[in-house]
Amino acid sequence: MSLHIYDTSARATRQFVPVEAGRASIYLCGATVQAPPHVGHIRSGVNFDVLRRWLLRCGYEVTFCRNVTDIDDKIIRVAAEEGVPWFTVAERNQRAFTWAYDTLGCLPPTVEPRATGHVPEMIVLMQRLIDRGHAYASGGDVYFDVVSYEDRYGTLSNQKLANMRPAADTDDESCKRDPRDFALWKGAKPGEPTWPTPWGPGRPGWHLECSAMATKYLEATFDIHGGGLDLIFPHHENELAQSQAAGDGFARYWMHNGLVKIGAEKMSKSLGNSLLIPEMVQKVRPVELRYYLAAPHYRSPIDYSEEALREAAAAYQRIEGFVTRAAEVIHDVDADAPLPQAFTDALDDDLGTPQALAVVHEVVREGNVALSKGDKEAVARLLAETQNMLDVLGLDPRSPQWRSAKSDLKPVVDALVAVALEQRKAARARKDYAAADEIRDQLAAAGVTVEDTPHGARWELSR
């Protein structure tokens, strides 16, 4: 394997060399659960799921940590607006995120820590920073002193401290030594949840929690830290600063996926342009939505449109059609068949899914030709290649994740449709094409699509 990935911190593509040979550790910034997920949120989950699957395919043992921010200003505000406890909002939306990840075929994380479950680790980290002169307590809050780390603060986002704006993460800036200092811990406020610390009761700052959880589950130095492009600053910049200032190596590679936009606007709840996952999977099937999100390069933006979504669904259906037809001819697929070299090269080159899917479509075209010629040997080889590539991308239509009810109903529907198909066959034999068409139309009205092939009629449930 010669995987190369674009490292945001280096602003260059680098060869992936893990901390420990044969093992890969990934921390993905997960949900802040103040609202249910839209496709912009879940794109990150799909992109890094493809990365994880590729590492697994290449023989790595992967530890995948995806956190949940379950306490936050926004969660508290939503809870107040609804008149419910903060944890009701967090729990409800975390379940919505889990459902969305599962629905789009993302493998479950190795561990999914919640911020509120890791306050002891945060306290230890803050104490380390205070002892090293990089943090200070003030008025019940604890802040990171950016000037104390001036020579390195800003390296991830390629900024200089002199050009940075105030952190604007507290109501009383007078508590700070410098307005650019960011909150590690927020002191208690009336009506808000609190946890005890040596500096007074309060709740975690956004950035602190990720550093504490990442190093707890992936060690002080780990391989890959991922998230959306919008997290580079301030979130990831602050994570990196506080972790390394405390003495941890932290992430060796930083990967960021592009955003989903509608027109020129980033998809967000505040703009009211969110496309929630339950709504999206009414427009297309979940596997088709996954294809839509995985097909562009992970670093490229996606400008959402209904037309592009339909095109992606149609492209996937072409792949699915070959797999379905080929599987009716070839019953045993070689799961160990080698992947096409062009596919491997594409994913090794910074997870190039557009090029990888181009290889899939080329193999499918060859497979359809082989099917039309009745070349079973070629069909078997090309089906194996296709399914193995789709498995890496999480898109294999024959996997348990995507097997629809039609797979289970096939024996039953076969028996029910057989009589109609025999009648249609007899009508065609006597050249009564009007009767044959009428039977086909009646089947279509019942949700059964009939296709005439060189090997006879075949059916499938209408999408």
SS3 category, 420 = helix
**pLDDT for residue 438:** 77
Instruction: Give, in order, the Cα–Cα distances in Å from 63 to each of 111, 136, 222.
Output: 8, 34, 10
Give me the residue spans of the domains in the chain.
4-257, 265-393, 405-461
**pLDDT for residue 410:** 54
**pLDDT for residue 462:** 61
Phi, psi of 367 (to 5 degrees): -65, -40
Residue 276 and residue 201: Cα distance in Å, rounded?
Answer: 36
| Per-residue pLDDT tens listing for the chain (463 residues) | 599 999 999 999 999 999 999 999 999 999 999 999 999 999 999 999 999 999 999 999 999 999 999 999 999 999 999 999 999 999 999 999 999 999 999 999 999 999 999 999 999 999 999 999 999 999 999 999 999 999 999 999 999 999 999 998 988 888 999 999 999 999 999 999 999 999 999 999 999 999 999 999 999 999 999 999 999 999 999 999 999 999 999 999 999 999 999 887 777 766 666 799 999 999 999 999 999 999 999 999 999 999 999 999 999 999 999 999 999 999 888 888 899 999 999 999 999 999 999 999 999 999 999 999 999 999 999 999 999 999 999 999 999 989 864 555 555 555 656 666 667 777 677 877 787 677 677 777 776 776 666 656 666 666 5
Residue 363 and residue 112: Cα distance in Å, rounded?
Answer: 37
Residue 52 and residue 62: Cα distance in Å, rounded?
Answer: 7
Among 296, 288, 259, CA closest to 274:
259
Candidate CATH numbers 1.10.730.10, 3.20.20.80, 1.10.10.10, 1.10.1740.10; the one for domain 265-393:
1.10.730.10
Q: What would the 3-class secondary structure string for 203-258 be?
A: EECHHHHHHHHHHHHHCCEEEEEEEEHHHHHHHHHHHHHHHHHCCCCEEEEEEEEC
**pLDDT for residue 405:** 45
For residues 247 and 218, the answer to whether their CB atoms sit within 8 Å is no
Residue 352 and residue 356: Cα distance in Å, rounded?
Answer: 6
Candidate CATH numbers 3.40.30.10, 3.50.30.60, 3.40.980.10, 3.40.50.620; the one for domain 4-257:
3.40.50.620
CA angle, residues 57, 58, 62, in degrees to nearest 5: 75
Residue 375 and residue 355: Cα distance in Å, rounded?
Answer: 27
Residue 398 and residue 161: Cα distance in Å, rounded?
Answer: 53
* Residues with Cβ within 8 Å of residue 182, at least 6 apart in sequence: 143, 144, 146, 167, 169, 205, 207, 234, 238
Q: What global pTM score does this model have?
A: 0.89
Residues facing residue 445 across a β-bridge: none
